[in-house]
Each structure stands twice: as C-alpha cells, then as structure tokens.
Amino acid sequence: MSKEEIIAKIMNVLQQDDSMEGKDITPDMSFKQEMNLDSLDVFELVNEIEDEFEIEIDTDESLDTVNQVADYVQKQLAAKE
C-alpha cells in the first residue's frame, strides 16, 4: 500500500470525528497543537487506525502528525508481508 493511500485512509478516519468536521486538515499538522486533539482523542484515533490497518501501534512511538503515522503504518504493513 502506498503512503498516499495510507494518508488518505488516516485523513478519512480524522474527518469522521465530529470535532474535525469542517476543518482543513493537512498531513503535516500536529494532532495536539494544531488539531487541538486531547489525549483521549489521540487514543481513539490510534485505536481506529489500528483497526483500519489491522496493526498495533507502539504507544512509545512519537507520532504527532498524519505523515509520521503513515510512515509508521507503512513500515508495519511491510513487516507483515
């Protein structure tokens, strides 16, 4: 799966969140500072991404943007092959 496809799926997950409705989200925006997501929002986002891609995300990873998450997901998917 290409990084662009992964980003599109993550962006779709974000846009389904009521708090993100109508916001212009870019892959380089910070979840906490620029999107104003709190810890619970980020936890829920991680769970949805794990379900979407059937992977587990290490909570020790420093993932603060869609691009960082997409890189991580791409590596996890490649490791599963």
Q: What is the pLDDT of residues 21-72, one digit of tens each?
A: 767 889 999 999 999 989 898 899 999 999 999 999 987 778 999 999 999 9
pLDDT value at residue 73: 96
Which residue, chain included where needed, has tokens 């979840």? 31
Q: How confident is the model at residue 16 (pLDDT cuts 50, 70, 90)?
A: confident
Range of the domain at 56: 3-80
* CATH code: domain of residue 58: 1.10.1200.10
What is the C-alpha separation between 52 and 8, in angstroms, rounded? 12
pLDDT value at residue 30: 94
**What is the number of structural domains in the chain?**
1
What is the C-alpha separation between 6 and 74, in angstroms, rounded? 7
Q: Tell me, rounded to whole angstroms, the distance of Cα 74 from its chain centroid.
A: 12
